[in-house]
Amino acid sequence: MLLNLIHSSGNDLAFNIALLVLYVICILLALICHEVAHGLAANWLGDPTAKQEGRLTLNPLAHIDPIGFLMMLFTGYGWAKPVPVNPRRLRKPRRDMAIVSFAGPLANLLLALFAGLGCSAFAAFGKFPMDMLAIEQVTPASAVSYLLLVFMRLNIGLALFNLIPIPPMDGSNILVSFLRPNAAAKYLQLRLYTQYIFLGIIALNVLSSFSTVAAILNSLLWTPFYYLTSWIGKGILFLGCWLFGTPAPGIVSSILAGTLFG
C-alpha cells in the first residue's frame, strides 16, 4: 500500500515525506487503539494484567511489534505486540478470551466507520477534491479528508488481517475458544513458524516491484484481502453518502480508483 501511495503522488519529495509521516501516524493510531481495546476488554472481564503492566497507554513504544509494523507499512495489513492476558483471571476463560480477542478488530472497524463517515461529511461540503493526491489541490480540508481515508483503509485492513485464524492472530484465539484442550494445544504450535511466514510475505511484497513472478504471487496472496477491504470501505462510504447527501458515484469513484484499495 505504501508503494502505491508514493507512486500515485508523483515525484515531489516534500509531498512524499509529508505523505509518509501521515501514513505512519495513521498506522500507529490504528495499532494502539487495537491493543488498548484488547486490554480494556480483558480488564472489564476480570483480568487487569494489561493495566498492571502499563499496556493501557497511548505510547506507541509499548505496542509496536517490528515485523507487524513493517507489514502495515508495506502492505496495509499487520499487527502490534499482543497485550498480556491471563485467562485464569477471566470470569469465564473460554468465552471471555474470544471476547477479548475480538475487541481489537471491533475497535478498528468502528474507527474505520467513523473515519469514513467523517470523510463523507467533508465531501458533502465540497471539501473533497477529485484527485486526492494532486499537489496543486492540497488544502487543509483535503489533507484531513485524505488522512481520514487512509485511516479508514488501514483500520479495515488491520481488523481483517487479525481475524485470520493463524497464531498469534486474534482469529486464532477466537478459534481456540471453540476447540478441545488437546486440539487447541496442537493448533497453537503453529506459532513457532508464523514469524518466518510473515517475513516471507514482507519480502514478497517488496520484490513484487522488481519481479514479475513475485508480483503475480503477491497479487494472488493479497487479492482476497483487497476485495474484502474494498467492499467494506465502499459500504462505509456509501453509508456516508446516504447520510450526508453526497453524490455517491463521484466520491466513491475518486476514492477507490486504485490508490487506497487497489
Question: Rg of the chain's alpha carbons, rounded to an integer?
Answer: 19
Nearest to 194 by CA among 172, 223, 216, 224: 172
Compute how many other C-beta atoms are within 10 angstroms of the C-beta atom of residue 224. 10
Is the distance from CB of 111 to CB of 77 less than 8 angstroms? no
The rounded distance, in Å, linking the Cα atoms of 133 and 99 is 39
Is residue 35 part of the annotated active site? The answer reads yes
Longest dimension (CA), the chain: 61
Which one from 31, 35, 69, 129 is the annotated catalytic residue?
35
Q: Considering Cα of 113, then 66, then 47, then 176, what sign does the dihedral take?
A: positive
Active-site residue list: 35
